[in-house]
Structure 1
Amino acid sequence: MAKKKDFGLGGAVPAPVIPIVQACTPFGGAAEGCRVTISLPHGKDRTVDFNVHLGQGFDDTVSAIAQVLQRMAEEGKPEPHSLSTIVSSGLVSWFQFCVERSALGFPPTLTSIDGATVDAYAGWLATRLKPNGELWSKNTARTVFAKTKTVLSALVERKLVVGTGLFHRNPFPGATAPHNRRNYIRPLSDGERERILRPLAKEVAQVFDGTHPGVLRTRLALCVFAILLKSGVNPTPFLEIPRDLTQCFLDHPRVNRRVLVTFKRRAGAFTTTPLEPSETNVVSLDVFRLCQRAAKMTEELVEEAIGTRVEGRLWLYRHEDGAILSMSVQDLHQVADAFTDRYELRRDDGTRLKMSSQLFRNTKVNRIWRASKGDLLATAKSASNTPGAAEQYLTVTPDMLDEHRLAGEVLVDTLSSLTLRDATPHSGCKDSLNGELAPKNGEPCIDFLSCFRCKSQVILQDDLHKLFSFYWALFEQRGQVGSDNWKKLFGWIVRVIDRDICPKFDPLVVAREKARARAEPHPMWQSASAREALRSVI
């Protein structure tokens, strides 16, 4: 299964005991011990000043956290990006909590931090509000708590805090359930994708021929966005690919194709992404050629990058202070904001449409899923994910709802063509050997869940008892497979029956057969084994 984010120190070897040195001097004086410098992979250092938290009754805690963080930064565990988010998310919340506790007369000093303090912090996180006034999701609170726990655990390992009973096993039960996670970024519809692609293709074409007026960082970011839209790769590993493109682009056995190889630190493994040929003649969709162009645009910075953390990187640019940096996700966010404002991009519902790597990856995975007609294994393979990880990207878009409509025939006359059709577990088929979705290999079609999008399906009034027995059997699976799986696998079938089939028959007949099927299922759906067989599609 997919590997969860780990904000820990890594490894099972206990950390060495670090004695508490003299606390940082409040507001001035010898306060260097309360400043932490984190060297980020893209070449920029981040200095965090904890002096602002001094003088509020918990100086020893501030000093100890600063010293522990500096040791983490020097050892590289956790890795710099994670350590930076620990500071910007976890510790920001922790120190805000400490200030409020101090105001109540309970400053969280090293000697007073115990299980009750940590429980109070978890409860405090559960009441945080977003800038728009909405309550944090339970999963957001859990993530912030996990980042803070990394630092508190380091204090325990170094004997600076008593660890007995400090952490409960799971202060946020159910936080990772889909309904408790952060708002899902809905994939682009075809119209929204076109809305981005047109101006993006125009600007990237200008980058390619050297006429784009933007600074180097903007031009590089536009190229990156075109590649993310095309390939759906994760941004951080891609931004760290080497300048030597032979190390990250492999030849594919098929003509005009390549395989992109990136390294994901969290998984500790290389990921391969097959690259299809350009969908159009627009140069912006050719990933390899765009990387070649990026290498050409940044070649004058290569010598200056020698001996720095970004030596050998592809996506180089010069910062305002003269330093040579490598593109980061934060750079992409800033360029995306400017691009959205420049073209006043809007989603189908009128909300602001901002380019982001997650949006593009969600869109790519869902497009693969639609093209494979719901084949989760094929989708996961194309996205270089496990099936469980790929499933997290899938959603039901308006386009999919339009696609899942009844394609067969509904015949109210119960005698129509009875001798010309084959029986299915819920209705009938014109030709199970050579129908629209039949395998056409001499074997009858057995994919009865796809019947409702097959033109060969035939539904007669006499089929209603069997159809609604199948209908209720689908509902029975909700408690077995989970609501999310049920919506993806069976929800569309129920919708087709209710929306497209029921209105074709007399409402009194529909109500009668529905009730009859609920009380006395058709023999096909009476046995438990037949109903359990529905779960075999998962």
Structure 2
Amino acid sequence: MGKRKVYVRTDLSVPQVEHSLDQQGNVVLLPEAIPPARTLIAFGRNATGSRSFDFAPWYGSGIDPITYACQRQIERFLAGQDTTVEVSTVVNYCRAGLRNFLDYLLLRAIAFGYELTLADIDRALIDGYLGHLVGQGVVTTSQKRFYDCTKSVLLALGQRGLIALVAAGDAATFPRNPFPNNNQKVKGETPLPKAQRHALAAAVKQAIMPIWRDDVPLTGELLTYALLIVALHTGRNTTPLLEMGRDCLRAHPKDNSTFLILWKRRGHNTSKVVLRGESTNERLLESTPTIKINVERLIRHVIARTEPLRAEAPDDLQARVWLYRSRGNEGTGQVTALSDSTLQYGTQKLVAKYGLTDSDGQPLRINISRLRKTFANRIFEILDGDLATTAIALGNTPQVAGRNYLLPDEDAKRNWRFMGDVMVEELLTYTIGTTYKTPMGHCSDPVNGQYAPKREGATCINFLNCLRCRHYAVTGNDLHKLFSFYFRVFAERMHMDKRRWTREYAHIPRLIDHYIVAEGLRRGVFKLAAVETARERARIEPHPFWSYDVVSHLEVFA
């Protein structure tokens, strides 16, 4: 009995590129399919203000095959095919990427005098596109954004076999790094200084007061102030806050505590914040950030006041918290929800109404990203520089938190204060070493040594460079201090960005293992049993100098 034939089902609703292959294996599009009956792409409601994108302007101008393939790929993204991307990301693919790419192709087709096809997408064309972006007169960071959005669409076409992709070599379709050092050119938001943070908190607290009166109608401005309060105290991102669901508050196993649950589109998971009614002076010991209970009360109050509006809200907004009745020229009286543009407008009104200014007297720049940076650095400060717990509070990895949120400033950098009271006193009286002697070993010239400050009366405390200094020496009696420092350096990995630790500290354990200890054993300066005993003792009972109780941060020695 023969095998039963299995027929593969094809979902006809998934957009396809109608094509065939010529004798050389190149993709040939069916001319009757171009242009498609519908060139307008509808995005629906999303995190951006764009609702559609029309490919019509690029048809009939000598680039039809590429325009058609790009349109179909965008439709596939929206249908959940090939990869999972948010609608707002697809919007950027169109508005930032394909708009510039197709404009460039129009110019190229006119210059060459023939129709461009998918087979023309190669390294030469990509290099020309990069040159075109330079000629647009936009900053390098914007050029990179346009290029990255374009590349995402072209990669998807290549992975489906519609364009030939060369992975490596001089003819690689996409250059390896067309925008070197771009990260150094990006100027991210900075946290609000303490005075400005307090001024904003006082202003928004005053502005929100009318929301507690049931006879005052809810407006976009009032809801903006409420959202700013939640952002200021939780450090969440813009889109999760705007899309807060009406079921965002969940029970917490502890009394007087509640979970605030937000959905993160990009990560496709939830973000959890604990709301509880304890003193804000208390150290943050939970794995999630804590805020005053009045923020929970504010959220519950908004949910209660917007409940009557749900029935009139569009289907895709009925589950949102920030509902209000529009008062604009268009759609007056219709129920809508806070959007990014409404949030920006309300924030600008708050700044103008309360005269909030920066240190230069200019209107204070407020946005959710800046409030998140402010929250991150405030938590970092409260936790005495604990990067790992700060990252948990932000919902990021320590690497991301350290690189993108904890910018150096006077309050948050932890300016490497020296030791405890004993060490401070020794410095002030120029008697460093009286209590603990040299905390790394022996130094033959702590005043004029290789890394000493060489100022009158100043003693060298640059212990991170002891291992490199020609005046440094270690005896068997110093092994406990040396290994205490060794393990302390490893412990710092949990409290700072991984790349920074690798750059500034990773060499220290290697020097100790492969230079000092190994060389000492070879010369007979150390006995193996003494080394192992000192190593284990330092692991269990570190020397007081390298204890967290005395030295909270190693940067004091940098």
One-letter amino acid of the structure 1 residue matched with residue 371 of structure 2: F
1:110·1:160 contact (CA, 8 Å) conserved in 2? Answer: yes
Q: Distance in 2 between matches of 1:262 and 1:144?
A: 30
Counterparts in 2 of 1:122 and 1:521: CA distance versus 1, 3 Å: farther
Q: Provide the residue aligned with 2:147 in structure 1.
A: 145
One-letter amino acid of the structure 1 residue matched with residue 258 of structure 2: R
1:183-203: CA deviation from partner (whole Å, max 9, x where unpaired): 121111111111211211111
Q: Distance in 1 between matches of 2:438 and 2:311?
A: 70
From 294, 306, 318, the equivalent of 2:302 is: 294
Counterparts in 2 of 1:202 and 1:523: CA distance versus 1, 3 Å: same
1:136 aligns with 2:150: no
1:398 aligns with 2:348: no
From 407, 427, 436, the equivalent of 1:422 is: 436
2:445·2:471 contact (CA, 8 Å) conserved in 1? Answer: no
Q: Provide the residue aligned with 1:409 in structure 2.
A: 425
Cα RMSD of the aligned pairs, angstroms, is: 4.3
Q: Provide the residue aligned with 1:240 in structure 2.
A: 243
Counterparts in 2 of 1:243 and 1:34: CA distance versus 1, 3 Å: same
Q: Distance in 1 between matches of 2:316 and 2:336?
A: 9
Q: Distance in 2 between matches of 1:296 and 1:176?
A: 50
Deviation of 1:84 after TM superposition, in Å, equals: 1.4
1:230-272: CA deviation from partner (whole Å, max 9, x where unpaired): 1101222233232134xx433252x433221222232222221
Q: Distance in 2 between matches of 1:518 and 1:75?
A: 57
* Aligned pairs (5 A) from 1:159-198: 160-163=162-165, 168=173, 171-172=176-177, 178-180=183-185, 182-198=186-202
Q: Distance in 1 between matches of 2:432 and 2:184?
A: 47
1:258 aligns with 2:269: no
* Aligned pairs (5 A) from 1:217-232: 217-232=220-235
* Structure 1: tracts of 5 or more residues without a match: 1-13, 26-30, 429-459, 472-497
1:82 aligns with 2:89: yes
Deviation of 1:411 after TM superposition, in Å, equals: 5.1
Bigger mean CA deviation after superposition, 120-129 or 329-338: 120-129
* Aligned pairs (5 A) from 1:64-79: 64-75=69-80, 77-79=84-86
1:34·1:67 contact (CA, 8 Å) conserved in 2? Answer: no
Counterparts in 2 of 1:311 and 1:375: CA distance versus 1, 3 Å: same
Structure possessing the higher relative contact order (Cα contacts under 8 Å, 6 or more residues apart): 1
Q: Distance in 2 between matches of 1:35 and 1:109?
A: 22
Deviation of 1:418 after TM superposition, in Å, equals: 7.0
Bigger mean CA deviation after superposition, 379-388 or 58-67: 58-67
1:336·1:354 contact (CA, 8 Å) conserved in 2? Answer: no
From 320, 335, 339, the equivalent of 1:313 is: 320
From 352, 355, 358, the equivalent of 1:347 is: 358
1:331 aligns with 2:342: yes
Q: Distance in 2 between matches of 1:174 and 1:67?
A: 29
From 207, 213, 225, the equivalent of 1:209 is: 213
1:41·1:80 contact (CA, 8 Å) conserved in 2? Answer: yes
One-letter amino acid of the structure 2 residue matched with residue 398 of structure 1: E
The sequence identity of aligned pairs, in percent, is 23
Deviation of 1:226 after TM superposition, in Å, equals: 0.9
Runs of 4+ in structure 1 displaced over 6 angstroms? 42-45, 513-518, 525-532
One-letter amino acid of the structure 2 residue matched with residue 237 of structure 1: P
1:61 aligns with 2:69: no
Counterparts in 2 of 1:418 and 1:220: CA distance versus 1, 3 Å: closer
Query: 3-state SS of the aligned residue for 1:298?
Result: helix
Q: Distance in 2 between matches of 1:275 and 1:424?
A: 47
One-letter amino acid of the structure 2 residue matched with residue 339 of structure 1: L
Q: Distance in 2 between matches of 1:117 and 1:69?
A: 21
Bigger mean CA deviation after superposition, 380-389 or 35-44: 35-44
1:228·1:361 contact (CA, 8 Å) conserved in 2? Answer: yes
Q: How many residues align?
A: 439
Larger Cα Rg: Structure 1 or Structure 2?
Answer: 2
Deviation of 1:229 after TM superposition, in Å, equals: 0.5
One-letter amino acid of the structure 1 residue matched with residue 308 of structure 2: E
Deviation of 1:167 after TM superposition, in Å, equals: 5.6
Counterparts in 2 of 1:461 and 1:40: CA distance versus 1, 3 Å: farther
Q: Provide the residue aligned with 2:271 in structure 1.
A: 271
Q: Provide the residue aligned with 1:434 in structure 2.
A: none
Deviation of 1:85 after TM superposition, in Å, equals: 1.8
Counterparts in 2 of 1:413 and 1:150: CA distance versus 1, 3 Å: closer
2:245·2:262 contact (CA, 8 Å) conserved in 1? Answer: no
1:203·1:222 contact (CA, 8 Å) conserved in 2? Answer: yes
One-letter amino acid of the structure 2 residue matched with residue 64 of structure 1: A
Q: Distance in 1 between matches of 2:89 and 2:98?
A: 12
Q: Distance in 2 between matches of 1:324 and 1:45?
A: 19
Q: Distance in 1 between matches of 2:310 and 2:235?
A: 28
Deviation of 1:150 after TM superposition, in Å, equals: 2.5
Counterparts in 2 of 1:259 and 1:521: CA distance versus 1, 3 Å: farther
Counterparts in 2 of 1:113 and 1:461: CA distance versus 1, 3 Å: closer
Counterparts in 2 of 1:211 and 1:237: CA distance versus 1, 3 Å: same
One-letter amino acid of the structure 2 residue matched with residue 155 of structure 1: L
* Structure 2: tracts of 5 or more residues without a match: 1-13, 20-29, 281-290, 494-558
Q: Distance in 2 between matches of 1:279 and 1:342?
A: 31
Q: Distance in 2 between matches of 1:352 and 1:191?
A: 14
Deviation of 1:515 after TM superposition, in Å, equals: 12
From 126, 133, 141, the equivalent of 1:118 is: 126
Q: Provide the residue aligned with 1:483 in structure 2.
A: none
1:30-82: CA deviation from partner (whole Å, max 9, x where unpaired): x8522111112479871212223345432333333233323432447533121
2:356·2:364 contact (CA, 8 Å) conserved in 1? Answer: yes
* Aligned pairs (5 A) from 1:478-493: none
One-letter amino acid of the structure 1 residue matched with residue 263 of structure 2: F
Q: Distance in 2 between matches of 1:350 and 1:524?
A: 56
Counterparts in 2 of 1:110 and 1:270: CA distance versus 1, 3 Å: same
TM-score (norm 2): 0.66
1:366-392: CA deviation from partner (whole Å, max 9, x where unpaired): 111111111111212222222122212
1:282-306: CA deviation from partner (whole Å, max 9, x where unpaired): x998322221222233223211236
Deviation of 1:519 after TM superposition, in Å, equals: 5.6
